[in-house]
């Protein structure tokens, strides 16, 4: 295996490819008792239309998430139960862009790693078990429909994007999951759960060669093709709508403000764009910004306020949000700040602020490396995007204010911001008064 050291962040990463082409990464963490494994496929909720064997295939909403649920089933029982009984803490998730299976353990790591690789690579479904799962996932979907975070997020996604499937819930709908069969799951597993579309990342005080050996013995399967994805017609920078408001059982309005951004390319350019986007959001309304401090002092935003730049499944967007007694006022203030930071008068103040923000973001990146789960997830996500996750801190140091201001001018135009709100129900508001 290749051994690459990152002296500035004190990380040691071993890597190699199995004979079938699948990459294996081991983040060496000497002296730690726990170990962590992260097995991921470049397949998420937005991958509903794809090309395989020269044929375009359309699938219902929610297949990737449904498949994640069912992958724990084995002929001998349930892998989740087996791993838990073996001292591991297993879990899985599906996002718009990827699906991952992972566990943490302080003992029997090699045995647990074999179990993880085996159940993810060997599907086992029956018609009866799929029908039973439809009821379970149906309950989950009903729960998300009552979750304000879920409602406000997908409200914003539908404002920002007209065509990309990421605008729909990863879990699908009651109607869409009713269309999923065992044949659907077997087909999608064959297409997306192949070595050319997956990666394994391990972190801990483990033997890298031994990890590679175990992966090679369990995953002795042929490579496959990487499917071509179709995310719909090209998106416009202008939002499909500027505001959506839902009423739910919340004590105070929750909101998200966002703007779609240019889709970043793969490789180092993708990494740089993600860092520039994060810095742009922080410069405008991050916790060190004048706007954040003023809005917080006025009670317009709370400690739960977030600023972020996200990329997934062919889309990119800037995000601000939290809870507020007056989300419309927050929107107006952010729009004003976007105009102000691009004026020549703001330049001297911004240069000092940018230096502070960059140091804070650099520290955040370095601290995140202490988290095994975050490091493994980041490394896998970066591999699928074509860049080296462990060069992010160095790229951060090389980023200039001019790049960030150009990003704001191009991707955060005030008129392109959209607002999604979940407000208290009218009866609850009246009762509070």
Residues classed as catalytic: 68
Strand 254-260 relative to strand 315-323, pairing? antiparallel
Tokens of 279: 């810095």
Place of tokens 């960059």: 358
Angle between helices 290-297 and 327-340 (to 10 degrees): 150
Q: Which residues pair with 89 in a beta bridge?
A: 104
Chain centre to alpha carbon of residue 289: 25
- Residue whose structure tokens are 């306020």: 305
Q: What is the dihedral angle through the alpha carbons of 160, 164, 169, 173, rounded to the nearest 10 degrees? A: 120
8-state DSSP, 235: P
Q: Helices marked H in 316-417 — which ranges?
A: 327-340, 347-368, 372-385, 392-397, 401-411
Token pair in block for residue 149 = 């975070």
Q: What residues form DSSP beta bridges with 56? A: 51
Q: Are strands 243-248 and 418-424 parallel, antiparallel or unpaired?
A: parallel
Give 50's DSSP letter.
E
């Amino acid at each position: 295996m290749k051994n690459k050291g990152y002296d500035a962040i004190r990380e040691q990463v071993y890597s190699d490819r199995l004979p079938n082409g699948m990459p294996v990464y081991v983040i060496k963490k000497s002296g730690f008792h726990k170990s962590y494994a992260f097995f991921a496929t470049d397949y998420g909720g937005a991958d509903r239309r794809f090309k395989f064997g020269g044929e375009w295939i359309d699938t219902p909403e929610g297949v990737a998430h449904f498949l994640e649920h069912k992958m724990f089933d084995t002929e001998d029982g349930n892998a989740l139960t087996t791993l838990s009984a073996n001292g591991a803490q297993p879990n899985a998730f599906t996002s718009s862009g990827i699906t991952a299976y992972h566990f943490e353990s302080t003992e029997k790591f090699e045995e647990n790693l074999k179990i993880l690789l085996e159940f993810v690579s060997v599907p086992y479904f029956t018609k009866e078990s799929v029908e039973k799962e439809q009821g379970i996932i149906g309950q989950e979907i009903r729960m998300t429909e009552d979750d304000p975070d879920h409602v406000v997020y997908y409200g914003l996604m539908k404002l920002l994007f007209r065509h990309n499937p990421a605008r729909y819930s990863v879990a699908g709908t009651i109607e869409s999951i009713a269309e999923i069969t065992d044949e659907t799951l077997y087909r999608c597993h064959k297409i997306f759960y192949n070595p050319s579309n997956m990666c394994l990342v391990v972190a801990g005080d483990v033997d890298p060669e031994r990890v590679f050996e175990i992966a090679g013995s369990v995953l002795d399967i042929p490579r496959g093709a990487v499917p071509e994805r179709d995310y719909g017609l090209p998106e416009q920078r202008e939002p499909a709508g500027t505001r959506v408001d839902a009423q739910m059982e919340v004590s105070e309005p929750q909101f998200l403000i966002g703007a779609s951004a240019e889709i970043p390319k793969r490789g180092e350019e993708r990494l740089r764009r993600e860092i520039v986007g994060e810095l742009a959001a922080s410069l405008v309304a991050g916790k060190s910004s004048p706007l954040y401090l003023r809005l917080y002092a006025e009670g317009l935003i709370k400690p739960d306020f977030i600023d972020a730049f996200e990329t997934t499944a062919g889309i990119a967007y800037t995000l601000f949000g939290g809870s507020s007694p007056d989300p419309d006022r927050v929107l107006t203030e952010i729009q004003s700040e976007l105009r102000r930071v691009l004026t020549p008068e703001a330049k001297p103040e911004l240069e000092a602020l940018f230096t502070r923000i960059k140091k804070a973001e650099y520290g955040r990146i370095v601290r995140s490396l202490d988290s095994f789960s975050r490091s493994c997830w980041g490394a896998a996500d970066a591999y699928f995007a074509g860049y080296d996750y462990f060069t992010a801190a160095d790229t951060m140091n090389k980023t200039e204010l001019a790049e960030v201001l150009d990003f704001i001018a191009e991707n955060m135009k005030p008129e392109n911001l959209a607002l999604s709100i979940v407000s208290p129900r009218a009866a609850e508001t009246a009762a509070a008064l």
